[in-house]
Structure 1
C-alpha cells in the first residue's frame, strides 16, 4: 500500500511538471523603451511599437503562435495592430501574416517579399508553395518609406542582397531603436540565403549601412537572439569581413569548395563565440565560398 501511494505521488508530481511545461508561455515580452517591445520565442524576433492610437508590428513568427503573440501584445496595450511590417519573406517571420490580416492588420514589405511569397520557391533545399492571397503584403516599396505615427517617425529602408533580396531595416528615429531583421544574428554566424538573393557582400553592406545610421546609444533588435548595440554590431561586421577575406584568399589560390568546407582554420578564431546549431562554422564557410564564386 505504501509503495502504491509513493507511485501515485510520483505520478502526480510528474503529471504536474509536464502540464506546467506544456502551459509555459512560448512568447517572452522584452521592454526596449517606454513604447517599444521585442517579443522573443520560436522564430524571428517581433518588434512592437505602441503609438497613440495603434500598434506598429514588425514580423509575426509562425502561424500557430498568433494567439500567444496577440495575448502578449494585449498584455502591453489594448490598441489594435494596424500595421504589420515584414522584414523579409521567410516563414519564421511572415508565418502569421494571414492570421494578422484577418485581425485587420495592413501588411507592408519590400516588393521582393511579396514577389517571393507569391510563387513557388526554394528554401534550404525544400520547395515552399505560394502563400495565400490573404498573407501577402498589400503595400510594397522599392527603396525606402516613412511612417509618421504620433511623435514617432519610422524610417523603413531596403538593403540589397543581404540575407535575401527583400530585406528591410526599420529605424525608430525618435526612440533610437533599430530592427534589423535577419541581417543581424546577434552573437552568431548568420544565415545567408543564397537561393533568395542573399550574398556575403550584400550582408556586410547591410550591416555597414546600419552602422552609419545608428550611434552608441541605439538599441538594436536583431532578427534572432538578444537586444544588441553598436559595439556588438561592429564586432559582428568585422568577423564577417575577416571571414570573407580569408575565403576569398583561398579562392584566389584555386581552392575548391570541399577544401574550404574542410578548412577549419578559416573560422577557428570565431567558433567559440559564433558557432551554433543552425549555422555552424562549416556552413558559414560554405555559404561565403558559394556567394563569392557566384559573383
Structure 2
C-alpha cells in the first residue's frame, strides 16, 4: 500500500528577484516523482547538495513544494490544517541526537512528544515503556541523557518518535556523528523496527554499508533521481555512480577493480561476506564461478 507519494515536486530556497525577474533561480528539487510503500525500508543517497535532505523534509511537511504535490497516507502536505496529522504519521530523527533531547531524564524525554499530543498520563507511561523496550534502552529510563553514548542517545531519540506512534520514521544521517559501535546499534534498531513492527523507514545516509541493508535504494543527484532499485540493482551500476562522484560499498569497489583486472567474479558483490566467498576460489587457485 502506497504511504508516501511525490508528484513532479520542485523546490527552491531562493526567492525570485523582483528587480531582475529573468535572473535564474537555483532549483534544489527538479520534478521529483517517487513513492514509498507502507512498511518499506528505503535508503536515500546522494552527495551534499543533491536534494536528499530537502526531499526528506517534504515527507513530514517541514517543507512544502513550490510546485507539484506530496501526499502522506493520502493527505496533501500543502494543506496547513493537516500538518499536525502528517507529523503524527511521520517522525524525523536528525543527525545530532543532542539537538533532539530536551529533558534531564531519559523517560521524561521520551514522554515529551506524547505529552504535547495531549495523551493521558497512563497511556503515556505505557507508550514510554514500550518505546524504550523497542530500542533496548528500558534499563536506562532513569538515567541522564548526557551520560549516554552517542548511539544510546540516538536510540532514545528514536524512542521519542515511537512513543508518538508514528507510522514512518525519516532518519537524516542518524549515524554521521557516531563511532562504529554506535552506528551498529542504531542500524540494528532501525532494521528491527522495520522487520518486527512494520514501521516505514526512510534512511538518508552517506554510508554505503548502511544503504545495502535497505530493501530499496534511491540515488539523487543535482535535484533529480539518478537511479533507484534494490541495493544490488543500484550498486551494479558502478561506472554510473562514479561518474557522478558517488561511492559504492567497499566490497563492491574491490570486486569491480578485480573484475577490471581480469578476475572472474560474480556480478555486484555487496558485502564483505559475499566478497570473501567470491575470492575463495581465486585464492585457492580453482578459479571463480560466474
Please indicate, yes or no, whether the TM-score normalized by the shorter chain is above 0.5: no
Which protein, 1 or 2, shows the higher relative CO under an 8 Å CA cutoff with sep ≥ 6? 2
TM-score bracket relative to the smaller structure: 0.3 to 0.5
TM-score by length of 1: 0.33
